[in-house]
Structure 1
Amino acid sequence: MSRTASLRVVFGIVSLDLIGFGILIPQLGVYGVKFGASPFTVGLLISVYSLMQLVAAPVLGRLSDRFGRRPVLLVSQVGSLLGYLLFAGAHSLPLLFLSRVIDGISGGNIATAQAVVADITRPEERARGMGVIGAAFGVGFVLGPALGGFLGAWGGNLAIGLFAAGLVAVNLVCTYLFLPESRVPGGPDGHARTLKSAAQALRLPFVAKCLVLMLLFTTAFAQMEGTFSVYLLTRFLSAGPVPLEGGLFLHPVMADAQVLREASLRAGWLFALVGVLSALVQGGVVRRLVGGEGGGGTGREAHVAMAGFGVTAVGLALLPVAPTYGWLFPVMGLLAVGSALTNPCLSALVSLHAPPERLGAALGGFQAAGSLGRIVGPALGGWLFTRLGPAAPYGTAAGMLILGTVVAATLATQARMAGARVGQRS
């Protein structure tokens, strides 16, 4: 099979994987509430997936180095299938948690898919090949949340889980039939030692700032993702939270089936808007803002990232004061634009300013910072929601991003100065 055909298969595999993951993003809060979870517990329900993924990714990567990429992908897909089936049949909070633990462990196979790309591409093609993984993420996060909203409104967690399991079953068949083994003796390692990479990357001052910014941004954004469904229920679909000793708990009317169906549908529409806008901005606007050949010598990426932090901070600050559900659409639009401006520019800055011999460690550290943010953010947001009220996670997240805007401003100055020194030497 040609490299191009193999890349298409990898794109299909990762896309289906991430559509299945995206389906659950706006729905976990809804079904956590259905089974009696507090906002903090809902945050933990979302965090546990990323925690398991962070732990499992290097283990699966090492196994793929030893036994091959194909068998690890097949076994991990069987795990995802079981996790989604468990979610479909879940009738209690412990079963929801167990389904997310299983799927998080299986979701560590993204690193193995990246290893397949590394196996089948030459070094000069590597960045373009990894773009396939990035494009698959975009597809998954555009289609998944909208599908989850419609499926949840129609058939609850049973429909969501069975549909996601069906996607994994298709994935399993495609991997078995169409993806040949790519691992060759002496080829590149398949696993990313993310924590070791992060420690190495922190020794590079410019890259360390990028990692701090990634951690701030992801933690802030994940606070919104982890609490949004509960916020939607509390603010627009129920009688609101009831203050009890130890924190705020949700009004019993929120467990009503009709209310939960409405929450699924509304969350799905809003997250679909975020996905579509993010894809459009990343696909066209960012490229024009930084310049066709990249803006590393002028600090354009840092300026665009700084703007992304600011736009996202405004969106998060406005979210808890939106007067009606309809006002959430422009507010979520700000969040979509802000994230689309920030994420690709931060990763570009890391790749532009890390020494070539340490680029792998720098990018691994960047991924680790994002993973840590996706673990801490939902749990922190849920705790703030429970202890201080529905507005607390968004105000805290906005404050974090204002701090990030200041750090990004110093990064822009450093990038411009570095570019000027390179220009003088040339």
Structure 2
Amino acid sequence: MERHLMNPQTRNKLILFLTVFIDMLGFSVIFPIFPETLKFYLSGGEDPILSLLLSLIGQFESDSNHRYFIVIFGGLVGSIYAILQFMFAPFWGKLSDRTGRKPLLIFTSLGSFLGYLLWFFSTNFSLFVLSRIVTGIMGGNISVASAGMADITSEKDRAKGMGMIGAGIGLGFIFGPPLGGLLSGVDLVGIFPSLAFFGVTIFSSSALISVLFAFINLILMLTLFQESYKPQADTPRSLSHPIFGVAGLKNSKIPFLSFIYFLFILGFSGFEFSINFFFHDTLYFNPREIGFSFVYMGLIVIFVQGGVIRRISGKVPEKKIALFGTVSLLIGLSILSLSSTFIPVFISLFFLSMGSAFLNPGLSALASLFSGAHEQGKNLGILRGFGSLARAVSPFLFALLYFNYGPNKSFLLSFFLSLLVLGFLLKVPDRENEKQNS
């Protein structure tokens, strides 16, 4: 067992898993404390960036609904991170094809650590926004981590490797909110009043978990991670942003798969956004019960991606894995759209969590397998970038739907988007047929 754990590939896989887990944990840990964050900065005096943001929110807000105000505030703040991930994931991925994975993973891990440390000491809103900008840019390393996983997995085991990346993404997104909510009750300034002098605030305890995880990841990256990719002499030297050339890619499957991934993430992250308010408004859950609901979903993701995907990888085609996940999503959303009581809602969450756990690695594995060894970073960066763009769009779209038309319309939109995913997935060519024709 010890020898297995010391295997360099095993170490690399665990560190890459931790990298993407931290990316999504940092993105989502702030969700439960948006109201307190807004209240804290509003009472902290004039801040130019906050004033600009509030005037922007005024353009969206149709009435004086305070909760709607907070949701739009949260959407704007969350979008800063997601949009920057969209912009930088393809860039970091393409750059790693040229430099190797380890230098960029060290650089971005250090940047993430410093960004979260800045959040820990953010006494004014401008510093807080700067911390989100830094962590959003560095969070684009999700593409480099995906490419690193592709480097160390065979074609047969590619879905298994991408299952680990998908598990890191899903678990970070699922466990971030309950961790943020639980830690928000720990007032570090109240326990150690002298910390106020250093800029520690009432929500620094929530930031602390991201700081600690990022520091651990940086140390592991520096000491244990082994370079997984040796750049090829014929690797393109241009550093133009891959997104700008996506329509002209010779490999037409990557833009198509990225579009499918965008639709999937748009619908699923919209569901994750809406379900928080659905739990509160319909099932009357308190924050702790909402947190445990996400833990329930996380355990299903762990079971599927840590167990089932590992066993079927190489035996079941990646396209079938993705199709099964999509059908599971459709079943879950169908049940959820018709439910208003505890038992059917939690049955729907089982299918939704299982669907995401199959579809995410299935699409990632397809994109990786349709890419050459020298373009893993670039192409997986494009795929992950479109996922980040979907996460930037979904809070606004689903906030408008939820608060104007109710939760059922939000869940129906997610259902419709998943239906589109199913239709487009059926058009993706089978790799077995392509191999026979090539």
The alignment-based identity, stated in percent, is 26
Taking a change above 3 Å as real, the CA distance of residues 118 and 185 of structure 1, as seen in their structure-2 partners, is same
Q: Which residue of 2 aligns with 1:371?
A: 388
Residue 178 of structure 1 pairs with residue 229 of structure 2: no
Q: Which residue of 2 aligns with 1:195?
A: 243
Q: CA RMSD in A?
A: 4.4
- Secondary structure of 1:33's counterpart equals helix
Tell me the distance in 1 between the aligned counterparts of 2:222 and 2:374: 35
The 5 Å alignment of 1:17-416 reads 17-24=19-26, 27-34=29-36, 35=38, 37-60=69-92, 70=102, 72-88=104-120, 97-113=129-145, 125=154, 132=161, 134-139=163-168, 141-142=170-171, 145-146=174-175, 148-150=177-179, 152-156=181-185, 157-179=203-225, 186=232, 194-195=242-243, 198-200=246-248, 204=252, 209-237=256-284, 262-263=286-287, 265-285=288-308, 292-295=314-317, 301-302=319-320, 304-319=321-336, 322-324=339-341, 327-350=344-367, 354=370, 360=376, 363=380, 365-411=382-428, 415=430
Comparing 14-23 with 158-167, which one deviates more in the overlay? 14-23
Comparing 215-224 with 43-52, which one deviates more in the overlay? 43-52
Alignment deviations for residues 169-193 of structure 1 (CA, whole Å, 9 cap, x no partner): 2222233333466776746679895
- Secondary structure of 2:109's counterpart equals helix
Q: Which residue of 1 aligns with 2:188?
A: none
Taking a change above 3 Å as real, the CA distance of residues 316 and 82 of structure 1, as seen in their structure-2 partners, is farther
Tell me the distance in 2 between the aligned counterparts of 1:111 and 1:180: 17
Taking a change above 3 Å as real, the CA distance of residues 85 and 393 of structure 1, as seen in their structure-2 partners, is farther
The number of residue pairs the alignment matches comes to 385
Tell me the distance in 2 between the aligned counterparts of 1:284 and 1:77: 28
One-letter code aligned to 2:205? A
Report if aligned partners of 2:142, 2:384 keep a CA contact under 8 Å in 1: no
TM-score for the superposition, normalised by structure 2: 0.69
Q: Which runs of 5+ in 2 are unaligned?
A: 1-5, 40-68, 186-202
One-letter code aligned to 1:276? L
Q: Which residue of 1 aligns with 2:12?
A: 10
Report if aligned partners of 2:159, 2:365 keep a CA contact under 8 Å in 1: no
One-letter code aligned to 1:40? I
Report if aligned partners of 1:313, 1:401 keep a CA contact under 8 Å in 2: yes
Q: Which residue of 2 aligns with 1:258?
A: none
One-letter code aligned to 1:169? F
One-letter code aligned to 1:215? F
Taking a change above 3 Å as real, the CA distance of residues 42 and 148 of structure 1, as seen in their structure-2 partners, is closer
The Cα of 1:221 is off from its aligned counterpart by: 0.7
One-letter code aligned to 1:280? F
The Cα of 1:161 is off from its aligned counterpart by: 1.2
Tell me the distance in 2 between the aligned counterparts of 1:320 and 1:12: 37
The Cα of 1:146 is off from its aligned counterpart by: 3.8
The Cα of 1:107 is off from its aligned counterpart by: 1.2
The Cα of 1:105 is off from its aligned counterpart by: 1.0
Report if aligned partners of 1:23, 1:160 keep a CA contact under 8 Å in 2: no
The Cα of 1:165 is off from its aligned counterpart by: 0.6
One-letter code aligned to 2:109? Q
The Cα of 1:336 is off from its aligned counterpart by: 0.7
Taking a change above 3 Å as real, the CA distance of residues 151 and 141 of structure 1, as seen in their structure-2 partners, is same
One-letter code aligned to 2:315? E
Report if aligned partners of 1:39, 1:230 keep a CA contact under 8 Å in 2: no
Taking a change above 3 Å as real, the CA distance of residues 98 and 198 of structure 1, as seen in their structure-2 partners, is same
Q: Which residue of 1 aligns with 2:195?
A: none
One-letter code aligned to 2:410? P
Comparing 59-68 with 322-331, which one deviates more in the overlay? 59-68
TM-score for the superposition, normalised by structure 1: 0.70
Comparing 49-58 with 132-141, which one deviates more in the overlay? 132-141
The Cα of 1:147 is off from its aligned counterpart by: 6.7
The Cα of 1:307 is off from its aligned counterpart by: 4.1
Taking a change above 3 Å as real, the CA distance of residues 392 and 52 of structure 1, as seen in their structure-2 partners, is same
Tell me the distance in 2 between the aligned counterparts of 1:331 and 1:161: 32
The Cα of 1:112 is off from its aligned counterpart by: 3.9
The Cα of 1:79 is off from its aligned counterpart by: 2.5
Tell me the distance in 2 between the aligned counterparts of 1:50 and 1:309: 24
The Cα of 1:60 is off from its aligned counterpart by: 4.1
The Cα of 1:371 is off from its aligned counterpart by: 3.3
- Secondary structure of 2:167's counterpart equals helix
One-letter code aligned to 1:225? E
